[in-house]
């Protein structure tokens, strides 16, 4: 790899880099060895700690948890996209009575910790009105929805002005301009931010743990309750989440590439400016 930050390494530099590399590898191996030794000396490698994860019933339990987690994530993402579009457009409205409440709602739910929101929903309404699963989905929707509202607003603002002007000039109404001209382009521009928000939503489903909502983390709780292998369970959960998120990111990049391919055509037509910029969206 070449970079502006350093020269192409000469013989001495290459030797130095090799030394640093070897030292790093040794350090990493030492850390790994220390971890293994710790595991060993505290009896973490015993079969009874890890065996559950190859037992069919436990695998089913984990899969069930995975299914509920994915379900919660998909529902939350779908609802929050709707929420985000409505409030994002609302924040851009010409009417003050519409703009202000939207602004207030978005700012409020963006600033409040998601966990608090979920606990509040659960404690206040739980057994009679909503299940813990619903509390989780509603909480996720409110939080991610308001973040997405900001994303959509930024995206709509990033669409070149001429687009809206042209649409008005050919006699479209405000709603038409928004839905036919501005929103589709805004979504395209903001796709990276939207995707990263999806990953956040998926990760945040783990919060269901606190309110006993069904999901991966709750399945984990069951497992270590039975087998008393917390560390092993937590590591397995982490691995599942990482694989899940990497898969999601990979899928999203694919989708983005396809959309970007479309965009390239329109650039040739001289219409769309592919200005994604740095998203200023909190993670």
CB 169, min distance to another protein, A: 35
Q: Which residues contact 275 (CB under 8 A, 6 or more apart)?
A: 158, 189
Q: Rank residues 17 and 174 by Cβ distance to another protein and give the closer one.
A: 17
3: β partners = 6
Q: How far is the C-alpha of 200 from the C-alpha of 51, rounded, in Å?
A: 31
Q: How far is the C-alpha of 168 from the C-alpha of 180, rounded, in Å?
A: 12
In the range 53-112, which residues lie near another protein by CB under 8 A? 108, 111-112
177 binds another protein (CB under 8 A): no
Q: How far is the C-alpha of 199 from the C-alpha of 271, rounded, in Å?
A: 31
The beta-strand segments (E) located in 128-257 are none
Q: How far is the C-alpha of 176 from the C-alpha of 167, rounded, in Å?
A: 9
Three-state DSSP at 46 gives coil
113 binds another protein (CB under 8 A): yes
Q: Which residues contact 239 (CB under 8 A, 6 or more apart)?
A: none
150 binds another protein (CB under 8 A): no
Half-sphere exposure of 118 (CA within 13 A, CB side): 26
Number of residues that bind another protein (CB under 8 A): 58
28 binds another protein (CB under 8 A): yes
Contact between 72 and 205 (Cβ < 8 Å): yes
280 binds another protein (CB under 8 A): yes
Single residue of 93, 126, 176, 245 touching another protein by CB under 8 A: 245
Q: Rank residues 119 and 187 by Cβ distance to another protein and give the closer one.
A: 119
Site string (208-237) toward another protein, x via CB under 8 A: -xx------x--x---x-----xx-xxx-x
| Contacting residues toward another protein, per CB under 8 A | 1, 3-7, 9, 13, 17, 20-21, 24-25, 28, 38-39, 41-42, 44, 108, 111-116, 119-120, 123-124, 199, 203-207, 209-210, 217, 220, 224, 230-231, 233-235, 237-238, 241-242, 245-246, 249, 278, 280-283
């Amino acid at each position: 790899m070449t970079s502006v930050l350093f020269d192409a390494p000469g013989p001495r530099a290459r030797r130095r880099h090799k030394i640093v590399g070897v030292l790093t590898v040794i350090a990493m191996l030492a850390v790994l060895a220390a971890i293994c030794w710790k595991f060993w000396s505290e009896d973490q490698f015993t079969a009874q700690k890890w065996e559950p994860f190859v037992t069919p019933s436990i695998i089913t339990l984990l899969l069930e948890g995975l299914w509920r987690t994915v379900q919660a994530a998909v529902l939350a993402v779908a609802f929050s996209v709707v929420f985000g579009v409505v409030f994002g457009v609302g924040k851009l409205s010409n009417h003050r009575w519409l703009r202000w409440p939207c602004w207030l709602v978005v700012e409020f739910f963006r600033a409040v910790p998601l966990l608090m929101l979920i606990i509040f929903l659960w404690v206040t309404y739980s057994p009679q009105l909503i299940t813990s699963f619903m509390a989780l989905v509603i909480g996720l929707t409110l939080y991610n929805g308001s973040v997405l509202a900001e994303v959509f607003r930024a995206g709509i603002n990033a669409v070149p002005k001429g687009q809206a002007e042209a649409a008005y000039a050919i006699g479209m109404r405000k709603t038409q301009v928004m839905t036919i001209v501005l929103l589709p382009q805004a979504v395209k521009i903001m796709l990276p931010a939207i995707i990263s928000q999806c990953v956040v939503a998926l990760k945040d489903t783990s919060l269901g743990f606190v309110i006993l909502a069904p999901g991966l983390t709750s399945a984990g709780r069951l497992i270590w309750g039975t087998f008393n292998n917390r560390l092993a369970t937590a590591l397995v959960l982490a691995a599942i989440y990482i694989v899940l998120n990497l898969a999601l990111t990979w899928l999203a990049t694919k989708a983005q590439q396809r959309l970007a391919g479309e965009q390239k055509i329109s650039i040739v037509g001289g219409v769309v400016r592919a200005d994604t910029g740095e998203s200023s969206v909190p993670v």
